[in-house]
C-alpha cells in the first residue's frame, strides 16, 4: 500500500534524519529502490518527474506498476509515490492515477498565482489524503526540460506558501539539479536558517541531492531538512556499470545480450547508490 509522506516527515523531523526521494525511470529502477528500502528497513519516496511518467507511458502505468511491485515483492516499509516538479495539470493527473503525494512546482508563476494554485491543490489533497510539496525559489540546473536559475528562496514567500497548509516545502538554497559545477559555492545555510525561522515545524526538502558533500547534507538535516531528492547519481551509477559490462564484452559472451543480464549490473549499482544515500541521510532502520 502506498502512503503519503506526512507521517514519514513527522518521524524524520523528530528523529533528525531525512527520507530519500529516489527518482524512478523504469521497472529496473523501481525494483532496485524498493528492494534496497526493504533490506535496510528505510522509508522511501519514489519520485516521478513528468518526463519519466511520459516515458513509462503515463502516470497510470507508473502507479499500477509500483502498487503491484509492493505486493509481489512483499514490501512492508512505508513507500510514497510522489510526482516530482509537477505542473498544475500534471498534479491533477497524478491525483487521478493514484499517486500518494504530489509536488506542485509553482516557482515559475508570480507568487500570487503560485499561492492561488497551491491553495486549490491543498484542498484537493486534504480531501483525498495525499501529501503536497510546494516550491519557492526555483532549483537551479536542468531536469527533464525544467530549467531553474538557482535562486535563493525568499523566507517571507516561504511562509506565505507554508501557511496555505502544504505538507512539505522545497526552498532553493543554492542547490541545483544534476552535477555541481567546480566553482559551486555550496549550500547557503543562512538562507536555510532564515527559511526555517519563518516556517517553524514545516518539513523542508532539499532537491539536487546528487554530489552534495556529506557534511553539508548533515548540516541541512540539522536545520530542518526532512526529505532529500536524488536522481542523477543513480543515473550515473547505472550508466557506469552498464558501460563496464559492455566494454568488457560481456554482452557478447553466452546470452549476455539478454536484457535481464545486460541491465543487471546497472540495477545492482543503483542499489549501492541508494544504500549509500540511506546511510548518509540516517533513514536506515527507520521504517
Ligand atoms: P539530482 O538529479 O541532482 O540528484 O536532483 C534530483 C531532484 O532534485 C529531483 O527533484
DSSP state of 147: E
- Residue 154 a catalytic site member: no
CB distance 209 to ligand 1 below 6 Å? yes
**What are the residues whose beta carbons fall under 8 Å from the beta carbon of 28, sequence distance 6 or more?**
263, 266, 267, 270
Query: 167 falls in which pLDDT band (50, 70, 90)?
Result: very high
Q: Which helix (H) or strand (E) holds 86?
A: strand 79-86
pLDDT category, 156, cuts 50, 70, 90? very high
Compute, in angstroms, the gap from residue 282 CA to the centroid of ligand 1: 18
Enumerate domains of the chain plus CATH numbers: 6-232 (3.20.20.70)
φ/ψ region of 135 (left if φ > 0, alpha if ψ in -120 to 50, else beta) reads beta
Stated pTM of the model: 0.95
Shortest-distance Cα residue to atom 1 of ligand 1: 208
Q: Is 277 in the pocket of ligand 1 (CB under 6 A)?
A: no
Helices (H), the chain: 6-15, 27-40, 50-55, 59-72, 88-97, 111-128, 155-162, 189-199, 214-222, 232-247, 259-262, 264-281
Q: What is the pLDDT of residues 181-196, one digit of tens each?
A: 888 889 999 999 999 9
> What percentage of the chain reaches a pLDDT higher than 90?
86
Average pLDDT over residues 82-111: 94
pLDDT at residue 182, rounded to an integer: 84
What does the alpha-carbon distance between residue 213 and residue 161 come to, in Å, rounded to a whole number?
Answer: 29
Q: How many Å lie between the centroid of ligand 1 and the Cα of residue 177?
A: 5
Amino acid at each position: 500500500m502506498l502512503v503519503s509522506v506526512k507521517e514519514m516527515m513527522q518521524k524524520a523531523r523528530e528523529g533528525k534524519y531525512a527520507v530519500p526521494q529516489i527518482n524512478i525511470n523504469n521497472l529496473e529502477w523501481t525494483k532496485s529502490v524498493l528492494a534496497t528500502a526493504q533490506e535496510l528497513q528505510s522509508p522511501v519516496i519514489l519520485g516521478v518527474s513528468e518526463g519519466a511518467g511520459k516515458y513509462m507511458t503515463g502516470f497510470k502505468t507508473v502507479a499500477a506498476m509500483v502498487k503491484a511491485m509492493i505486493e509481489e515483492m512483499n514490501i512492508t516499509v512505508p513507500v510514497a509515490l510522489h510526482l516530482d516538479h509537477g505542473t498544475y495539470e500534471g498534479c491533477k493527473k497524478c491525483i487521478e492515477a493514484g499517486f500518494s503525494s504530489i509536488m506542485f512546482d509553482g516557482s515559475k508563476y508570480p507568487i500570487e498565482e503560485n499561492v492561488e494554485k497551491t491553495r486549490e491543490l491543498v484542498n484537493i489533497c486534504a480531501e483525498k489524503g495525499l501529501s503536497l510539496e510546494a516550491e519557492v525559489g526555483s532549483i537551479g540546473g536542468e531536469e527533464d526540460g525544467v530549467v531553474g536559475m538557482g535562486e535563493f528562496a525568499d523566507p517571507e514567500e516561504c511562509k506565505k506558501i507554508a501557511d496555505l497548509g502544504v505538507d512539505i516545502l522545497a526552498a532553493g538554497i543554492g542547490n541545483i539539479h544534476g552535477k555541481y559545477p567546480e566553482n559551486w559555492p555550496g549550500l547557503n545555510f543562512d538562507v536555510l536558517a532564515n527559511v526555517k525561522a519563518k516556517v517553524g515545524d514545516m518539513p523542508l526538502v532539499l532537491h539536487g541531492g546528487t554530489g552534495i558533500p556529506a557534511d553539508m547534507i548533515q548540516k541541512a538535516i540539522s536545520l530542518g531538512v526532512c526529505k532529500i531528492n536524488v536522481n542523477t547519481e543513480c543515473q550515473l551509477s547505472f550508466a557506469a556499470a552498464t558501460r563496464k559490462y559492455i566494454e568488457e564484452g560481456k554482452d557478447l559472451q553466452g546470452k549476455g545480450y539478454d536484457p535481464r543480464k545486460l541491465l543487471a549490473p546497472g540495477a545492482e549499482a543503483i542499489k549501492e547508490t541508494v544504500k549509500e544515500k540511506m546511510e548518509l541521510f540516517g533513514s536506515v532502520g527507520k521504517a
